[in-house]
Structure 1
Amino acid sequence: MIQPVRSALVLAATALLVACGGGGDDDGSGSASKSTGPVTIEWWHIQNNDPMKSVWADAVKQYEAANPNVKINVTVLENEAFKAKLTTTMQGGKVPDIFQSWGGGTLKEQVEAGLVQDVTEPTKAWIGDLNSAATGLYQIDGKQYGVPFNLGMVGVWYRKSLFEQAGIDAPPATWDEFLTTVQALKQKGVTPLAVGEKDKWPGMFWWANLSLRIAGKDALAQAGEDGSFDSPGFVKAGAELKRLIDLQPFQKGFLAAPWDGAGGEAAQIGNGKAAMSLMGQWAPSTYAANTKESEEVLADLGWFPFPTVDGGAGGPTEQFGGGDGFAIGKDAPPEAVDFIKFLVTSDVANKAGASGGILPVKKGTESSVTDPNMKSVLDARAQADFVQLYLDQAYAPAVGQAVNDAVQELFAGKASPQDVAGKIADAAKAG
């Protein structure tokens, strides 16, 4: 039996709480414990596109100016390159002082391996100033093992101009309407969907959303405990995904296309070669980074939540997504936590939110988000009463990998919906 870290996130609008004690917004210099000499921090992050790449770079300069004994070495990596490099580095027993984390089962394994610091004590004075649903993603057995900076959900981004070209007046609300929208786009010679299935997790988003809509959150929780991913709801989720795949809605070469980079999913949307993309709140900046027409694509974007499925167990206020945060390596100096504290102060969080790059988690900074599409995601976040964490992070890594691998085979026409459910169930039960 596997024991995943699964977050039933209660996402409700929260009022601004006044910071107290040591949790107030400072310049990053107020820490309960500090080193006595020069300090070097190794920071790995995946914000490899602007605006967040520049926001983080500016934050480093500001922190170093306020703390002249601290030097922060920044390693910026694309998502897949980060995962590969981190795995290799950790296998060698080394860990960056600060590194990207999504929480969940992967973080749990890192904690059990003794690779990550328990930061409950050094963060207790200010962690309550952050969205509790976001901080909960990094809690294991009642202890804090990471700090979030971003929280949103996965939905469908679309090019308004291509919808207009196909005569589509409004985004679809149900799965059947969505399939009709796909057919309408095809009839007008528009590629309906882009997917970067080389990276596997973009395809997982489709199966996971359908599983949440059809099998429901309780079935996902139960499957995490007993491995019952081969139950009827999950098989039907695969069958509905196959209905979509059979329409051949994706760009040519989608199985070899990455999410980010030349020829990838983001470039397809950014360059107007496909109408829709199922992706998280980070998508707009990545679309823009993959085209020379960045301002035009951002102005032409729309967003809608994943459609409901008639007769499914999941309702419209149950969503799929998660956030971004940082874990602290086992040998990191105390300044590493102090720097993370600085990254989530109102000053930095407001800049990040205003940039359109993230949906900040510091309470009271939600108003910094002014981009209409990002506000749509933020509003949906506030209305959601449950958000299922990404399946390749929610469960143990072996199970998450099985989900990604099996779903990719469905996209490739090499597995049936029953095969997909069975392979995931086998991996879960083996754990």
Structure 2
Amino acid sequence: MMGDPALSRRGFLAASAAAGLGMTALSGCGGDSDGGSSGTTTIEWWNISTTQPTKDVWAGLARKFEAQHPNVKVKIVQFENDAYKAKMTALIASGKLPDIFHTWGGGVLKQQVDAGLVEDLTDRTKEWADGLLPVAKEPYLVDDRVYGIPFDIGMVGFWYNKALFRKAGIATPPTTWSGFLDAVRKLKSAGITPIALAGKEKWPGMYYWAYLAMRIGGADALEKAGDDKDFTGAAFVEAGKHLRELADLQPFQKGFLGAAYSTPTGQAATVGNGRAAMELMGQWAPVVQADSGKGLGKDLGFFPFPEVEGGKGALTEVFGGGGGHALRAGAPQEAVDFLKFFASATTDRELVEKTGVLPVVPAAEDALTDPNLQAVQRQLKGATGFQLYLDQAYAPALGQEINDSVGALVTGSRSPEQVTESITQTAKEEQ
């Protein structure tokens, strides 16, 4: 899940940043036999599920798969979100990926596919993958071919503390941007930190800019900008101005620029421990809040990103994505078997019940009982437009530039116009 995006949670680091990581993690990639008489095949599975309960649930699923396949050993390798992206950048440069690896799809996956590093799963998974939810499969299609299998789907929205909203005199969550800014002011007046933000990791701030651009220009504006390699349109400049308007209210927790997402002092914990009223995050937020902090229980609520008055975008246009798994080119059949196991109704129901993901297998939908996640699912089902995370929808360098530029906008070191110009320049350089 993107927080585990994680999920937070989205832009590859430059390859040079990963140059000093060493080769320990690179040497074990690729399924192999133990060379002995047992004929055991080891498949290496890289994922970013480092928070509980997901970490233990996934380890248990690996052991269950091994029990069903006695001649297969699953080697689990786990990283925090940003560390994972850095490691994968190094692996792409080496030309060798793990047997099974986490993917958000989009432009990042396409780059790996274009490099010939990812297995085409279209024919090897058709028998069972055709039954998965279509919207969940979209990010993993490249030229109408299947290169990844989803295990989660969802959207980004505001997760808020109902008790703190009541204390500030906010009766209902805001539905407009002006109403949202009013809510921020009320929270500050009540002595409450309105928003937690992981400023150190950049991608959580990108969510605000992306959603504002969607609400102002509509979901089509983001797609067109990516196709045209031009982000200098009015919708993107206005998005930056609105984000600066929010930042000028100083709504974030003290020290937010040094805060990570899922650490004990990070964004999720700040909300989970009741020290900030809300965060803009994906569907994994409740699990990470509870793992990093105490969790809010019944005081936790969810509302979609507000509309911008006069904008072309609708409240029903959503920004988000999910998590999936891809295979290295030439991966053994045992890796395909693991994807089938992970995408089964039995496994999906366990993931929904124990880890809070949204179901990708229709037969597992009855396992979704959490009211907040049901609200997210309803929003997804009623969506009139869908935009994948920008640092995954576009090529890695462009995604990273968006994250970095928006981060500079939040701190005031770049203007809204400079942000759009810098992003456009990077987009054109990638042509």
TM over 0.5: yes
| Range with bigger deviation, 241-250 or 421-430 | 421-430
List aligned pairs for 1:16-95, cutoff 5 A. Answer: 37-95=39-97
- Secondary structure of the 2:159 match is strand
Whole-angstrom CA distance in 2 between matches of 1:155 and 1:356: 19
Question: Contact conserved, 1:356 with 1:369, CA < 8 A, in 2?
Answer: no
List aligned pairs for 1:332-347, cutoff 5 A. Answer: 332-347=331-346
Whole-angstrom CA distance in 1 between matches of 2:343 and 2:413: 45
| Range with bigger deviation, 86-95 or 174-183 | 86-95
Per the TM alignment, residue 52 of structure 1 is displaced from its structure 2 partner at its CA by 1.9
- Secondary structure of the 1:251 match is coil
- Secondary structure of the 2:73 match is strand
Question: Contact conserved, 1:51 with 1:357, CA < 8 A, in 2?
Answer: no
Per the TM alignment, residue 381 of structure 1 is displaced from its structure 2 partner at its CA by 0.9
Question: Contact conserved, 1:192 with 1:274, CA < 8 A, in 2?
Answer: yes
Query: Residues 160 and 356 from structure 1, CA distance in 2 versus in 1: closer, same or farther, beyond 3 angstroms?
Result: farther
Question: Contact conserved, 1:356 with 1:374, CA < 8 A, in 2?
Answer: no
Q: Which amino acid in structure 2 is aligned with residue 66 of structure 1?
A: Q
- Superposed CA RMSD in Å reads 1.2
Question: Contact conserved, 1:197 with 1:408, CA < 8 A, in 2?
Answer: yes
Question: Contact conserved, 1:168 with 1:181, CA < 8 A, in 2?
Answer: yes
Question: Contact conserved, 1:356 with 1:371, CA < 8 A, in 2?
Answer: no
Which residue in the other structure is 1:25 paired with? none
Q: Which amino acid in structure 2 is aligned with residue 64 of structure 1?
A: E
Which residue in the other structure is 1:142 paired with? 144
| Range with bigger deviation, 369-378 or 201-210 | 369-378
Which residue in the other structure is 1:226 paired with? 228
Whole-angstrom CA distance in 2 between matches of 1:298 and 1:74: 31
Deviations 1:41-65 (A, max 9, x none): 1001111112222221121111100
Per the TM alignment, residue 101 of structure 1 is displaced from its structure 2 partner at its CA by 0.2
Per the TM alignment, residue 356 of structure 1 is displaced from its structure 2 partner at its CA by 4.6
Which residue in the other structure is 2:407 paired with? 408
Q: Which amino acid in structure 1 is aligned with residue 337 of structure 2?
A: D
Q: Which amino acid in structure 1 is aligned with residue 292 of structure 2?
A: N
Q: Which amino acid in structure 1 is aligned with residue 154 of structure 2?
A: G
Which residue in the other structure is 1:209 paired with? 211
| 2:254 equivalent to 1:255 | no
Which residue in the other structure is 1:26 paired with? none
Whole-angstrom CA distance in 1 between matches of 2:326 and 2:287: 24
Whole-angstrom CA distance in 1 between matches of 2:377 and 2:97: 33
Q: Which amino acid in structure 2 is aligned with residue 322 of structure 1?
A: G
Whole-angstrom CA distance in 1 between matches of 2:165 and 2:359: 30
Whole-angstrom CA distance in 2 between matches of 1:221 and 1:261: 33
- Secondary structure of the 1:125 match is helix
Whole-angstrom CA distance in 2 between matches of 1:50 and 1:370: 19
Per the TM alignment, residue 385 of structure 1 is displaced from its structure 2 partner at its CA by 2.0
- Secondary structure of the 1:43 match is strand
Whole-angstrom CA distance in 2 between matches of 1:332 and 1:87: 19
Q: Which amino acid in structure 2 is aligned with residue 245 of structure 1?
A: A
Q: Which amino acid in structure 2 is aligned with residue 259 of structure 1?
A: Y
Q: What TM-score comes out, normalization by structure 2 length?
A: 0.89
Identity %: 50
Whole-angstrom CA distance in 2 between matches of 1:99 and 1:356: 19
Question: Contact conserved, 1:43 with 1:75, CA < 8 A, in 2?
Answer: yes
Structure 2 regions of 5+ residues with no counterpart? Answer: 1-37
Q: Which amino acid in structure 2 is aligned with residue 301 of structure 1?
A: L
Question: Contact conserved, 1:196 with 1:256, CA < 8 A, in 2?
Answer: yes
- Secondary structure of the 1:424 match is helix
Per the TM alignment, residue 93 of structure 1 is displaced from its structure 2 partner at its CA by 2.4
Per the TM alignment, residue 362 of structure 1 is displaced from its structure 2 partner at its CA by 0.7
Whole-angstrom CA distance in 2 between matches of 1:399 and 1:112: 17
Whole-angstrom CA distance in 2 between matches of 1:235 and 1:392: 18
- Secondary structure of the 2:152 match is strand
Higher relative contact order (CA 8 A, sep 6+): 1
- Residue in structure 2 matching 1:191, options 190, 193, 214: 193
